[in-house]
Structures are given as structure tokens and as C-alpha cells.
Amino acid sequence: MLRARLTEAMKDAMRAKDQRTLGAVRLILAALKDRDIAARPGGNTEGISDAEIASMLQGMVKQRRESVTLYRQGGREELALQEEGEIAVIETFLPKQMTEDEVKAAIADAVAETGAAGIQGMGKVMAALKAKYAGQMDFSRAGPLVKAALGA
């Protein structure tokens, strides 16, 4: 379903002559094609799943946010604005992100579900969260919350 949305978005951007959106969608489709090709040796000839696509999109957003920070530190505001434009386009394909309160509740559920106690259980909790909330949760922000929940 996400693949179809991406293809339609590219067509719409081409019709509207929206170069910013078209460029960002083409970047997404190129990254998606790379992931599909990388998945072939494992027997996956149909391409990666929507959950894996959502995870890829989150990675792209994270990478661009880091770039924005670096560009601003280097005084390159025009490049920072370009990256922010790409972030806005990429985020339109991601599911609604969870609020901090929702993340904390999900972490509490995952801790109870996995029976994790202490920092040793962090991997189990993070794996459970990634399985359930891929694309909806920013795991770089969830990590410290999981540590706090486990008393580390």
C-alpha cells in the first residue's frame, strides 16, 4: 500500500511540476529499490514490507534532521531549509507519530509483557516495541525512556 502511495505521489508531483516533492519522492523510491535489491538474496523477491518501508523512512528523517543541525552549525541555512523540505515530504508517508505519553504507556506495556527487569532486559523491550510500533515511534527518543523505566 505504501509503495502505491509513493508512486502516486511521484505522478502527482510530476503533474503539478512540484520539484521539491518530486525530488524527495524520487530519493525515497531510490532507497526503497536499494532495500528491495538487498533483500533478494534472502529469498524476498516481492520487496520489503510496509513496516520495513516505514522504518526506512524514519531513518531517512533522522538522517536529515542530523544534516539540518550540521548545516545550521556551518552557516548553510539554504541547505538546512532544503533538508527540512525533504523531511516534510517524507513525514507525509509515515503514520502519525506517538506522543511522549503514548510512548511511555507502550514502554510500560512492553516491560510488563517481556518481564524485563534491569538494564539487561532493554534489548527485549526495544525488540517488542519495534515489532509493535515500527513507524509510529522514534526509537532514538524511546531508548532513554526504556532505560528510565528499567531503573538504569
Taken in order 42, 48, 53, 55, is the CA torsion positive or negative? Answer: negative
Question: Are 77 and 104 contained in the same domain?
Answer: no
Per the CB < 8 A criterion, the answer to whether 25 and 9 are in contact is yes
The domain total for the chain is 2
Domain boundary, last residue among 43, 71, 91: 91
Domain boundary, last residue among 91, 110, 131: 91
Q: What mean pLDDT is reported for the chain?
A: 88
Tens of pLDDT, residues 130-142 = 888 876 787 778 8
Domain encompassing residue 64: 2-91
φ/ψ (deg, to 5) at 21: -65, -45
pLDDT of residue 148: 85
pLDDT of residue 27: 94
Domain boundary, last residue among 91, 114, 136: 91
Question: Are 116 and 143 contained in the same domain?
Answer: yes
Q: Find cell 532505560 and name the residue.
A: 147
The domain that contains 35 carries what CATH number?
A: 1.10.1510.10
Confidence category of residue 152, pLDDT binned at 50, 70, 90:
low
The domain that contains 114 carries what CATH number?
A: 1.10.10.410
- Pick the more confident residue, 114 or 84: 84
Tens of pLDDT, residues 101-112 = 888 888 888 888
Distance CA 72, CA 138 (A): 23
